[in-house]
Amino acid sequence: VEFLYCDLASMKSIRQFVQRFRAKNCPLHVLVNNAGVMLVPERKTEDGFEEHFGLNYLGHFLLTNLLLDTLKQSGTHSHNARIVTVSSATHYVGTLHLNDLQSRCSYSPHGAYAQSKLALVLFTYRLQHLLTANGSHVTANVVDPGVVNTELYKHVFWAVKVAKWMTAWLFFKTPEEGASTSIYAAVSPEMEGAGSCYLYNEKRTKSADVAYDEDLQRRLWTESCKMVGISDESSRVP
């Protein structure tokens, strides 16, 4: 195990991390996008992005795109490289505001969090479409870990914290249980060659209907490229 520092809330840190990783000349067989904040008060990343959207979504969007060449080189016909992105059931109630992705008009912690998780699902489906169109030996899937007993809930209302403290043992998954579906997506032989799957409890299930909107997927991808400052190679793919 080797640790390399990367701050997903900083585009500069992400680029520096990718440079350090590439310098090692290592293959990359599995990338798990799992960083996140939830229900934080309104604030911005160092790049000026609303924190939920900037860290939960744009950080992973840039990291994945910068590592795509290495992933493509590492995958083979019999053993695809795998991208696993962690979303949430909250995406089912999310709305993507393409004209206000930074929630500047009206800020809601719940709305901003749900939007970031919906964006991750849309991103995964568009990414798999592009990978397939290019004949790449890389798959992209999205995971719902369930309700897990972690520090992610530190910004919720105090009454919710009390309820969580009293009932976590009964209703919440342990971190180990929460990680099981991500691990399944990353290493299970059953997932070899499978992409664009939404997984919950190690089973394929249906995501929100809006997540399958291909036009919305394309528009979000194009806008995301502009926001993080990378070229939109997808413009040549239908």
The single-letter DSSP state of residue 97 is -
Please give the Cα distance from 89 to 215 (Å, whole number). Answer: 22
Helix segments in the chain, DSSP class H: 11-23, 51, 59-74, 109-133, 158-171, 175-187, 214-228
Q: Name residues whose C-beta falls within 8 Å of residue 43's C-beta, 6 or more positions apart in sequence.
A: 51
Residues known to be catalytic: 113
Please give the Cα distance from 125 to 140 (Å, whole number). Answer: 8
Tell me the C-alpha to C-alpha distance, in Å, between residue 58 and each of 9, 26, 54, 176.
8, 24, 5, 26
Please give the Cα distance from 130 to 140 (Å, whole number). Answer: 10
The residue assigned the tokens 């309820």 is: 163
